[in-house]
Amino acid sequence: MDMLAPALKGVARELSKSISSGSTIGLGSGSTVAGLMDEIAPLLVAGSKQVNGVPTSTQIELVARRNGIRLVPFSGAVDLCVDGADQVDERMNLLKGGGGALLREKVVMGSAKSVAIVASAKKFVKRLCEKGVRVPVEVVPIARESSKARISLLGGVPEERLLPKGYPYFTENGNMILDTMFEPLDDPVAMESKLKAVPGVAEVGIFTFKPLTVYRLNDDGTFDVLKWRD
């Protein structure tokens, strides 16, 4: 992230200009969003802008509190959702959930009036699941075996996410995650729908929301702004 710090500072300046005082911002999880919060909070203070934050995990809740962002319960809608991504394809579909917060991230992102995704250039690919990156699938514990069987029929190879000592990983919602390998996806929208239809699946790490704006962080300190509207 140190190499990308100048680009992240630039994105923070850009976003801070568009955020109005009184706005409610959905805060995605992960190191990129945490770094962005560290950069953008002082700019909002300098501009006398008071904003509300809706965190999607305990991790980002702590970061937001540290930066003086007022946290509020999720009330069904946010003005802006800021989040990261594990992969971004050429149609700006996303793979998310490496940190385990995919369900809350998708709920909040789906309620947002606008969406801003921030990701390093190395995370951009032609098709999702290239380079062996897996799709996180969040399942209720009782369905972990039945879900594995159904997901396998869709061409996936699911593996339970485990903690370093080999114990099952549980999300903040009390669910398990099946990190699932697929061949690179030609139709992420269809696969998202098929996985969501598996009984016991709570959420899927394929995000196909539109419209959205993606900020691509480059190693040379610059960033690109990419917009997609269906």
User: Which one of 61, 90, 105, 145 is the catalytic residue?
Assistant: 105
Instruction: Kindly indicate the confidence band of residue 80, based on its pLDDT and cuts at 50, 70 and 90.
Output: very high
CATH number given to 5-124+208-228: 3.40.50.1360
How far is CA 188 from its chain centroid? 16
Question: 206 and 188 in contact (C-beta within 8 Å)?
Answer: yes
Would you put residue 68 in left (φ > 0), alpha (ψ -120 to 50) or beta?
A: left
pLDDT, average across residues 46-72? 95
> With 70 as the cut, is the pLDDT of residue 221 above it?
yes
61 is catalytic: no
pTM exceeding the 0.85 threshold for the entire prediction? yes
β pairing state of 78-83 and 112-120: parallel
In this predicted structure, the answer to whether residue 1 has a pLDDT above a threshold of 70 is no
CB atoms within 10 A of CB 121: 16
Superfamily holding 130-205 = ACT domain (3.30.70.260)
